[in-house]
């Protein structure tokens, strides 16, 4: 059985570039994420307060470790302009071993 900290892909969306940049920078600077990729042009359709709505958003792909994901989610919630931001973490099943190790190294708490 592996004792390596699992690597997760944490998904969230932002309404604008300013909030996406603020969240991405904070997560990486605070070692809560190794990398945050911002994807422009996302469209989200959802039900909110009884209405179906569609909004343009930026999708953030947050690369983090299982040991840091709870803190990363808490920080997103703290910085996010939405009342209920999307925060969904998916465990990676495979990846380039050196890249996964890099994510673990960048998000280790003892290197803060």
Domains in the chain with CATH codes: 7-111 (3.30.70.120)
pLDDT in tens, the chain (112 residues): 457 999 999 999 999 999 999 999 999 999 999 999 999 999 999 999 999 999 999 999 999 999 999 999 999 999 999 999 999 999 999 999 999 999 999 999 876 5
* Number of residues that this document lists for the chain: 112
Question: What local confidence, expressed as pLDDT, does residue 73 receive?
Answer: 99
Question: What local confidence, expressed as pLDDT, does residue 1 receive?
Answer: 40
pTM recorded for the entire structure? 0.93
Question: What local confidence, expressed as pLDDT, does residue 110 receive?
Answer: 76
- Angle between helices 66-79 and 17-29 in degrees, nearest 10: 140
């Amino acid at each position: 059985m592996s004792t390596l900290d699992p690597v997760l892909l944490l998904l969230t969306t932002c309404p604008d570039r300013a909030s996406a940049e603020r969240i991405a920078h904070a997560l990486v600077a605070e070692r809560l994420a190794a990398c945050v990729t911002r994807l422009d042009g996302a469209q989200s359709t959802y039900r909110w307060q009884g209405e179906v709505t569609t909004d343009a958003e930026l999708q953030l792909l947050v690369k983090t470790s299982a040991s840091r994901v709870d803190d990363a989610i808490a920080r997103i919630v703290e910085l996010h302009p939405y009342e209920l931001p999307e925060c969904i973490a998916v465990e990676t099943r495979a990846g380039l071993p050196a890249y996964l190790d890099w994510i673990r190294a960048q998000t280790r708490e003892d290197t803060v």
